[in-house]
Amino acid sequence: MVVKSQCEQASPATQQLFLSFFSHQDTESAPGKESDSSAQRSPLPVVYKALFVVSALMFPERAALVHAASVLAQSQSQAPQTVRNRVFVNPEQLSAASILEPPPSAKSRKTLVELAMLHHIQETRTASQIRRANEDEREESIFAFASVIGPQFNRATLPLTTLLSDDVRSNERIIVNSAKRFFRRPRPYHLDPTIRPVCRTTKNQQDYSYPSGHGTTGYLEGLVLAEMVPERREKILSRADDYAYSREVCGVHYPSDEVASRTVANAMFNIMINNPLFRAELAAATVELRAKVGLGTISRNRSSSERP
């Protein structure tokens, strides 16, 4: 086998990954083995395993990280199939309420100024802005950046990137929802009935505004994607700003909600980047993404000052 002969000349980390891949294949195809009826288990799909092996061959300098990601994925596949998202940052590590300034009160001059800004947006927003704002509301994931990466950047072709994005989104909810309940800032259309939203709304007065959940997701997913595609970092973060602004076009958030969301996203990312589980998922998704869209290996000579 050509791939097998290549692995014989590869690094130790790549050889370990290769042997792991084939040993799992042999185990799965061995006859006479009964499955564990006490829990529904699903082996890691062969296509995923092959991806890990090929990724290690394509990017030998990152073989150790790819192997770690493969072990992570294999351990996940052997667990009972339940809905789960990995925790990369928890409320004990970060309380968003403790790092944010309280939002302006409902009757404050700043809130009146922000409502005036929303009224101006309301009177000047275009049909294309409204359409884009609704698209952004529906795509609350890393794939909101498809305009920066290209048409191949989608869930159907990038399962490992999808897994990473969904986990990042889950972590955003953990951190942001507690801050929303702490600050209890009403949505602009709840405070001012002359605000006319053009996106989904709710009558629930406890669906609070500060900080913005969509905005935090946009900035956080953008920071993650900028690690994966650092050569497009500036365009990615500019798109994150546009994504956050869509919430103002919608008429469902104040400008200060989005400023707060950027602060929370930066704080979350600085914790997540040191989490081994996050780094393993990030490594696997990066290899998958760059191979799919035809990008080369990443130059890792970037200084820490380039991160937020």
Sole residue written with tokens 């989904």: 200
CA dihedral 94→97→101→106, nearest 10 degrees, is 160
Minimum mean pLDDT range among 11-15, 255-259, 288-292: 11-15
- Is 70 exceeded by the pLDDT of residue 38? no
Residue 85: what pLDDT? 77
- In the structure, what pLDDT confidence band is assigned to residue 298 with cuts at 50, 70 and 90? confident
- Is 90 exceeded by the pLDDT of residue 97? yes
Residue 57: what pLDDT? 53
Going along the chain from its start, the domains and CATH numbers come out as 2-29+41-77 (no CATH), 96-306 (1.20.144.10)
Nearest to 89 by CA among 160, 176, 159, 162: 176
Say if residues 250 and 140 touch (Cβ distance below 8 Å): no
CA angle 96–215–303, rounded 5-degree value: 75
> For helices 213-228 and 159-183, what crossing angle results, to 10°?
140
- In the structure, what pLDDT confidence band is assigned to residue 27 with cuts at 50, 70 and 90? very low
Task: Say which amino acid occupies 298.
Answer: I
- In the structure, what pLDDT confidence band is assigned to residue 148 with cuts at 50, 70 and 90? very high
pTM for the whole structure: 0.75
Residue 49: what pLDDT? 52
